[in-house]
């Protein structure tokens, strides 16, 4: 089940990044995806991870349309499951930026960069709010809040 899919995904990473064997990496990623879809359903973080890997591989093979479709599906899943402030969601969006820049698609590039910037501002605000709530202890100034 899912352990086999994880191992296949790791082996595909090895074939792709260390050995440069793109065809074998694609075969292994695809097998991992097939297993993960059956085990987790299509809309899961594990499937999104494999879609991201397949998209990167497609881009390396010059299959930019396939890469874009896979990155977009991965982004949709990650945005739904983890939110726009999650680093993996933003990492997938950044890969679309790289793809759009390489293709000279300035309209899509500008739109994606604006989205990422908005997400980062939101993320920064979330971190600041968390810091204020959790790190800065709330204390009333001396003399306030006491009963007479």
Q: For the purposes of burial, counting CB atoms within 10 Å of the CB of 121, is it exposed (0-12), middle (13-18) or buried (19 or more)?
A: exposed
CB atoms within 10 A of CB 35: 22
The percent of residues above 90 in pLDDT, for the chain, comes to 64
Q: What is the pLDDT of residues 64-88, one digit of tens each?
A: 999 999 999 999 999 999 999 999 9
In this prediction the pTM is 0.79
Query: Could you tell me if 51 and 70 are in contact, meaning their C-beta atoms sit under 8 angstroms apart?
Result: yes
What is the dihedral angle through the alpha carbons of 49, 54, 55, 56, rounded to the nearest 10 degrees?
90
Query: Could you tell me if 29 and 53 are in contact, meaning their C-beta atoms sit under 8 angstroms apart?
Result: yes
pLDDT given for residue 121 in this prediction? 87
Q: For the purposes of burial, counting CB atoms within 10 Å of the CB of 49, is it exposed (0-12), middle (13-18) or buried (19 or more)?
A: buried
When the pLDDT of each residue in the chain is averaged and rounded to a whole number, the result is 86
Query: Could you tell me if 60 and 86 are in contact, meaning their C-beta atoms sit under 8 angstroms apart?
Result: no
């Amino acid at each position: 089940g899912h352990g086999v899919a994880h191992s296949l995904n790791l082996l595909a990473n090895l074939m792709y990044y260390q050995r440069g064997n793109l065809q074998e990496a694609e075969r292994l990623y695809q097998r991992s995806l097939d297993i993960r879809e059956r085990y987790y359903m299509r809309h899961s973080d594990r499937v999104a991870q494999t879609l991201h890997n397949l998209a990167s591989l497609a881009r390396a093979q010059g299959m930019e349309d396939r890469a874009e479709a896979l990155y977009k599906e991965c982004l949709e899943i990650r945005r739904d499951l983890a939110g726009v402030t999650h680093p993996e969601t933003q990492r997938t969006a950044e890969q679309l930026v790289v793809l759009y820049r390489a293709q000279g698609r300035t309209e899509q590039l500008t739109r994606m960069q604006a989205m990422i910037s908005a997400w980062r501002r939101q993320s920064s605000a979330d971190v600041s709010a968390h810091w204020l709530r959790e790190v800065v202890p709330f204390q009333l100034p001396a003399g306030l809040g006491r009963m007479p």
